[in-house]
Chain A
């Protein structure tokens, strides 16, 4: 077990280093953007004096390196500075919306992950049958369609024509949990459709890849029924690639949902980011990017640990 702990700590350390490198990239990429931030905030009509005054107030007259460390130091304590537009603290502007994004991602994941893995197992069992082909065509179609298109199709058929679900996923604080699930069902379903194909096909491929193994033939020659060959003998050895593709899709659910949030007017981080970019609200852009990067790194770390834990050679050393 000591070996595993060591491996996990090593991965964690690497994750921290990666995050540090990304923070440098994010900070200086924003620095490199053309135009002056103070000028942009104040607009074309501002006098040079007011611009200079604002620059000083924002600390822009100090060297970039110094500002980077100030920013990083603040970020470590959860202080990302103040929004240039609203004057609100960035941490407050983001926190509520990040929880919304996490909620939607979890909602979609809770539906999508079990469905894709179960479907993946079934299509591996029924490989090269009609069911396999139909499942492949349907999931591939959904992954190939742009998500805003999927979103509008769902709105058309499940909201506008039938009125089953609301077309706009607006939230209020006094809703019950059931009401919340009902209102956010369409964006969640859109996300499910987008990520299912990838995970299902990976599950199928990972299992089929193992079917030529001698231990699978052995199981068949012991008279083990086909479904049990897949579930008991192939699946436990296929977890590593499956976990990795699941982690990748979970990260996508958190960081890649901008379009879906816009379509359903859902108050998540994605929308905030888009707004901030168009208004040049850099503290918010930087904070969002850093959170997204941390999410990616954390999920990949979780996938690494998961793969390690499913490997019997590492779990039960000699």
Chain B
């Protein structure tokens, strides 16, 4: 039993309400939480589990439209639920700090990074400006940021995402708080960048013996960071246990299902071998540019009917640009796109309706890809009407049929609007919209990355089933190698606009790899709590920065 005096934060029966449809609805239903000095607690769960809300409540903060409605939050002997707002404010930034999910959005674009860093220490009169700046540079050093003496004097848009995330961690450390809330700090980053940030966070939390609440939906990540893991579901605790025990022997069914979610895997299909079989889509020596900046350099690959080709790479590697070239949104500056052996006009405006119909897209953000003011039946019905000329009763039957295909009950969903649907349901509607055109080829642009793991798995299974039923070819753009492992037949690895390696999936996952593929593969977090430590030792701690720049 840890002595009571070491307890830093004690939350009891925390209840939080959210305001929607003109009434207060409870969204966190009595959660308990105890955190000792220097301890790292992982909060894990799907979206809507209340992780962020609970994390913010630990700072005595509720977002607009939320309120803490019951329970107690005791921070170092102080009851936060009854503390006046002014005293709470004095706590924030000085004794409890926050690191947000997207550093790019959470740094103010109008001020230099170091001025945002020194704001709290100057305000709390802990340091004068010059001292605070020197301290900031010292922290940038410790977090292994490049050019630590100079980087703070840049504006946020002049610094990369991974560096900003480390700068934000440095900012949270500015007043040497007792507790830091990390709210999905690496979710928006590429796997290779994620490692640097994880290592930096873990080091600095160790060095200053800071307690932390680490919020994430990624089990493998939390396994590297936390001493204890708490699993949440819909605002309630499922279970809590020390990390090792939680990973080895989860006791609740829900936790087990989370652990098992990556089990979906279908056998790899081979390219047709008979003579005369041609790829449905063939990208041939394509170059493309945005203005004067060249973004694709001699990209070539083939996609055969009924097969899934995964295109992987970090952000900025040219994955989505390749998709834009194939669909004709961005005409290539060199090379061509072939469809069933025939050359396609580079601009979509010059393609025939039938050429357009054959290739459809499903987007990453179903939220923004569906017009919120248009009924589901119309969203799905329009392409059927436009490409196939289906009308009247026949159109209604077609929409019903499509809704059946995506496993949404037509009677329930026909007349509903996108905002009434969950994230997974919206993505299903996106799939139905693509199917409505009767395509033979679909580009799936990061279709599961905005979804929770269980929901994402459902979408992958659905895509797989549809592929079987309609002999669809998929180009699957993703940065998530677990997804690649589960559904791809072939893999194309891209880096800075070039294809660095391509081949059948099983080959790609077996060494030897191209060094960049190797870097990508080894950077995917594993469930083993010692994975990060081992990996850093293998790579040599000082080379992390360089490794990502290979």
Interface residues of A (CB under 8 A from B): 212-215, 217-225, 232-233, 236-237, 312-313, 316, 318
Q: Is B109 an interface residue (CB 8 A)?
A: yes
Contact B108 A219 (CB under 8 A): yes
Name the 10 nearest CB pairs between A and B, nearest first.
Answer: A236-B110, A222-B93, A223-B93, A223-B92, A214-B105, A221-B98, A218-B106, A215-B108, A214-B106, A223-B89
Interface centre among A213, A222, A237, A318 (most CB of B within 10 A): A222
B231 within 8 A of A: no
- The answer on a CB contact under 8 Å between A223 and B90 is yes
- Annotate B485-504 by CB proximity to A: 1 below 8 A, 0 otherwise: 00000000000000000000
Query: Once the chains are docked, how many angstroms separate the CA of A189 from the CA of B220?
Result: 66
Q: Are B108 and A223 interface neighbours, CB within 8 A? A: no
Q: Does B283 contact A (CB under 8 A)?
A: no
Per the bound structure, the CA–CA distance linking A232 and B106 in Å amounts to 15
Name A222's contact: one of B102, B120, B157 (CB within 8 Å): B120
Identify which of residues 120-151 in chain B touch chain A, using a CB-to-CB cut-off of 8 Å.
Answer: 120, 123-124
Assess whether A312 is in contact with B119, with CB atoms less than 8 Å apart. no
Q: Which A residues touch B63, using CB under 8 A?
A: 217
Asked if B157 and A218 sit within 8 Å, CB to CB, the answer is no
CA distance A313 to B109 in the complex (A): 8
Number of interface residues of B (CB under 8 A): 32
Could you list which residues of chain B lie within 8 angstroms of chain A, going by C-beta atoms? 56, 59, 61, 63-64, 89-94, 97-98, 100-102, 105-111, 119-120, 123-124, 154-155, 157-158, 171
CB-CB under 8 A from A222, the residues of chain B are 92-93, 97-98, 119-120, 171
Complex Cα distance, B111 from A313, in Å, reads: 11
Give how many A-B residue pairs fall within 8 Å (CB-CB). Answer: 75
| CB–CB B120/A218 < 8 A | no
CB distance from A218 to the nearest CB of B (A): 4
Contact A316 B158 (CB under 8 A): yes
The answer to whether A236 touches B107, judged by C-beta atoms less than 8 angstroms apart, is no
Kindly list chain B residues whose C-beta atoms are within 8 Å of the C-beta of A219: 108, 119
Contact B108 A224 (CB under 8 A): no
CA distance A82 to B93 in the complex (A): 71
CA gap between A177 and B527 in the complex, in Å: 80
List, in ascending order, chain B residues with CB within 8 A of A316's CB.
Answer: 154-155, 157-158
Bound CA span A222–B90, Å: 9
State whether B111 touches A214 (Cβ < 8 A). Answer: no
Q: List the A side residues contacting B109 at CB < 8 Å.
A: 215, 237, 312-313
Establish whether residues B59 and A221, one from each chain, have CB atoms under 8 Å apart when the complex forms. yes
A123 to B333, CA, bound (A): 52
Q: Which of chain A's residues have a CB closer than 8 A to the CB of B123?
A: 223-224
Pair A218/B107 contact, Cβ less than 8 Å:
yes
Known contacts A313-B157, A318-B158; is-contact A221 B107 (Cβ 8 Å): no
CB B20 to nearest CB in A, in angstroms, measures 16
Most chain B Cβ neighbours within 10 Å, of A214, A218, A223, A318:
A223
A-B contact pairs, 11 of them (CB 8 A): A217-B63, A217-B100, A218-B100, A221-B56, A222-B92, A222-B98, A222-B120, A237-B108, A237-B110, A313-B109, A313-B157
Would you call B61 and A215 a contact (CB within 8 A)? Answer: no
Taking A213-B105, A223-B123, A312-B157 as contacts, is the C-beta distance between A236 and B94 under 8 angstroms?
no
Which residues of the partner chain B approach A236 to less than 8 Å between Cβ atoms?
108, 110-111
Residues of B within 8 A of A215 (CB): 105-109
How far is it, in angstroms, between the C-alpha of A223 and the C-alpha of B88 when the chains are bound? 8
Taking A220-B92, A221-B93 as given, write out 15 further A-B residue pairs in contact, using a Cβ cutoff of 8 Å, ordered by the A residue number: A215-B107, A221-B56, A221-B92, A222-B93, A222-B98, A223-B91, A223-B93, A232-B111, A233-B108, A233-B110, A233-B111, A237-B108, A312-B110, A313-B109, A316-B154
